[in-house]
């Protein structure tokens, strides 16, 4: 006789494409009989319970809106699950993807993924209205599945949830920045600029590596008065950067895996190891400053303000101070290293502008590289840095702002807990503000015919107030340091070297990439082969006479390792790719050369 299935069995079979039958052993005869799971009461109960929970979750999420308030434009999707199948690839591709949707859904729209509401913003006006004017309601951070505890913890200021602890950390960072800025960050950037010139002169083909080492050594000097501590930062940054990026561990996409216990979760084990290693690095560096301070041989740095109990530092304990200084330091490497890599890309695509900056430097500085005191007289150099930061954002999708309470904006409902994203890639290309926004045009900051022009040119352009550094009370506190580093090193590089794309056969084999970045939350233009040559024998002699030797942080082999913090080049590795953060560009994606070049 044909077996008759219940309607529920038909539904399950059609949904799964598999049989709903199980084998049951008769306890009396010992024979096996085939029966349906839906003939067993406990399976029926579990099935109905699951269906009830899903239905309850769906309908409970549909809150009634006040009169006159409407929901944001939303991408169509499934109940609760939303549009989980259309999540874009990582890095700059995500900015392009979400940007394309604005053409259909408007300047602000909603995307729901697995019950979580994401709100995407394409204009500076909306971002300022929400993140600046209403900043107290848009200043929280979201939980990160592969970095559980970072939001609630005391380790990483930029990712910390809003609250009393965040305010203490932020006040501490403002204090040490105010102390260091007028002292040109204790002269550490100036010292490292010269060392970097020497390294580039000796091994120009490793320019990408030299930029990373420069950033690590500079911020380690500012933070701990010892550039060698920069190796700690080079060691820990790739791990945390991948952990907090959508392109990192699979748990960042399949967020339900966060419910697994640590004993069976490789991601929680990895996060525990990462947290302990980072703490060891930061605490060890601070203890080293404390020891040298007691011995009377520690130069000025951020940590010395803590060890000497400078007024205003007493609100943090040892652990908190170590992490406030350390986490602010590792962010500086990626956010400064990104524009430095973009600088090489820009110089190869737009060689005529490089010549204009050279003329300015030679006229103002003569036979020496520029110093910070020269900057009021170097508007072209400042325009170069300003345009690089706009043209290739370090964080094209920004850092998310989480809504703390329900809000209404322009008649639209913005729910509590929604994760808001300002698309900095689009904001930096608003046509009314940045005509031909995809092109590298430093003149937009110097020519009165552009809407971005400001006077006096002894002050503007400047990175102060730049929207690329975030909005409101979650904006980056390190703008002055970033500006000091970029102006100083880029000025030194243009003064000393000619940077251009390779010529002849090598040019065809190594095209300059247009927009290739690593797929992490902080993007960096991928390095490529180019010609970096000293401009003259006079410049060579200056470097050899005044730029000190040394300053390398990357060991060539394991035989040179002396510490757990040493960064060692992999066997046979000519190009140091920083654990995948600076892989070489292919040069075959999208546009290769800018029009008119």
User: From CA 167, how far away is CA 265, in angstroms rounded?
Assistant: 33
* Residue 110 host element (H or E): strand 108-113
SS3 472: helix
- Compute the CA torsion angle 545, 183, 366, 340 (nearest 10 deg): 80
The two three-digit tokens of residue 95, written as one number: 């900015």
Segments in 61-187 forming alpha helices (H): 92-105, 124-128, 164-180
Contact 278, 326 (CB under 8 A): yes
Number of Cβ within 10 Å of residue 191's Cβ equals 16
Measured distance CA(226)–CA(273) in Å, rounded:
26
- Residue recorded with tokens 């003259």: 536
CA dist 509 and 435 (Å) reads: 33
298 annotated among ligand-binding-site residues:
no
Spatial contact of 198 and 231, defined as CB atoms under 8 Å apart:
no
CA distance 102 to 395: 19
Q: How far are the Cα atoms of 155, 158, 243, 331, 583 from residue 580, in angstroms, in the given order?
A: 24, 23, 13, 17, 5
SS3 89: coil
Contact of 479 with 467, CB cutoff 8 Å: no
Would you call 502 helix, strand, or coil by DSSP? coil
Name the β-bridge partners of 82.
Answer: 78, 113
- Which residues are known binding-site members for heme? 476
Q: Point out the annotated binding site.
A: 476
């Amino acid at each position: 006789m044909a077996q008759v299935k219940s309607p529920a069995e038909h539904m399950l079979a059609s949904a799964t494409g598999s049989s709903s039958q199980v084998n049951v052993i008769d306890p009396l005869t010992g024979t096996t009989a085939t029966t349906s799971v839906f003939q067993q009461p406990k399976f029926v109960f579990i099935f109905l319970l699951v269906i009830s929970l899903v239905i309850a979750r769906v309908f409970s999420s549909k809150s009634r809106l006040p009169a006159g308030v409407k929901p944001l434009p939303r991408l169509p999707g499934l109940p609760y699950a939303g549009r989980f199948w259309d999540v874009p690839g990582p890095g700059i591709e995500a900015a392009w993807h979400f940007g394309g949707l604005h053409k259909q859904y408007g300047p602000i729209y909603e995307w729901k993924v697995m019950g979580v509401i994401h709100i995407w913003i394409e204009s500076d006006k909306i971002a300022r209205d929400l993140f600046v004017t209403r900043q107290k309601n848009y200043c929280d951070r979201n939980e990160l599945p592969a970095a559980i505890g970072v939001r609630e913890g005391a380790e990483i200021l930029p990712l910390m949830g809003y609250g009393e602890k965040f305010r203490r950390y932020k006040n501490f960072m403002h204090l040490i920045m105010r102390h260091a800025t007028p002292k040109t960050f204790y002269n550490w950037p100036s010292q490292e600029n010269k060392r970097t010139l020497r390294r580039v002169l000796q091994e120009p083909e490793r320019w990408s590596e030299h930029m990373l080492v420069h950033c690590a050594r500079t911020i380690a000097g500012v933070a701990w008065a010892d550039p060698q501590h920069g190796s700690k930062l080079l060691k820990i940054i790739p791990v945390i950067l991948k952990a907090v990026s959508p392109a990192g561990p699979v748990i960042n996409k399949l967020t339900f895996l966060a419910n697994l216990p640590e004993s069976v979760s490789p991601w929680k084990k990895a996060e525990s190891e990462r947290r302990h290693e980072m703490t060891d690095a930061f605490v060890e560096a601070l203890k080293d400053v404390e020891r040298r301070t007691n011995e009377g041989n520690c130069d000025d740095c951020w940590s010395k303000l803590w060890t000497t109990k400078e007024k205003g530092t007493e609100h943090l304990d040892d652990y908190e101070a170590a992490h406030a200084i350390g986490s602010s330091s590792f962010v500086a490497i990626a956010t400064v290293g990104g524009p430095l890599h973009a600088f090489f890309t820009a110089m190869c695509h737009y060689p005529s502008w490089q010549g204009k900056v050279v003329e300015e430097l030679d006229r103002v500085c003569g036979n020496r590289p520029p110093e910070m005191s020269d900057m009021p007289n170097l508007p072209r150099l400042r325009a170069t840095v300003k345009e690089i930061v706009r043209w290739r954002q370090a964080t094209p999708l920004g850092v998310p702002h989480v809504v703390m309470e329900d809000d209404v904006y322009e008649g639209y409902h913005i729910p509590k807990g929604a994760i808001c994203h300002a698309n900095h890639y689009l904001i930096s290309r608003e046509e009314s503000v940045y005509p031909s926004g995809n092109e590298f045009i430093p003149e937009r900051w110097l020519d009165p015919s552009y809407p971005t022009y400001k006077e006096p040119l002894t002050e503007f352009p400047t990175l102060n107030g730049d929207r690329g550094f975030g909005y409101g009370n979650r904006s980056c506190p390190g703008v002055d340091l970033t500006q000091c580093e970029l102006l100083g090193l880029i000025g030194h590089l243009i003064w000393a070297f000619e940077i251009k794309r390779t010529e002849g056969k090598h040019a065809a084999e190594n095209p300059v990439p247009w927009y290739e970045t690593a797929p992490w939350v902080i993007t960096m233009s991928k390095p490529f082969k180019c010609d970096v040559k000293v401009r003259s024998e006079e410049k060579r002699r200056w470097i050899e006479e005044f730029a000190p030797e040394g300053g390398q942080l990357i060991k060539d082999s394991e035989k040179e390792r002396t510490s757990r913090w040493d960064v060692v080049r992999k066997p046979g590795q000519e190009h140091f790719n920083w654990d995948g953060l600076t892989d070489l560009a292919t040069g075959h994606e999208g546009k290769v050369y800018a029009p008119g070049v």
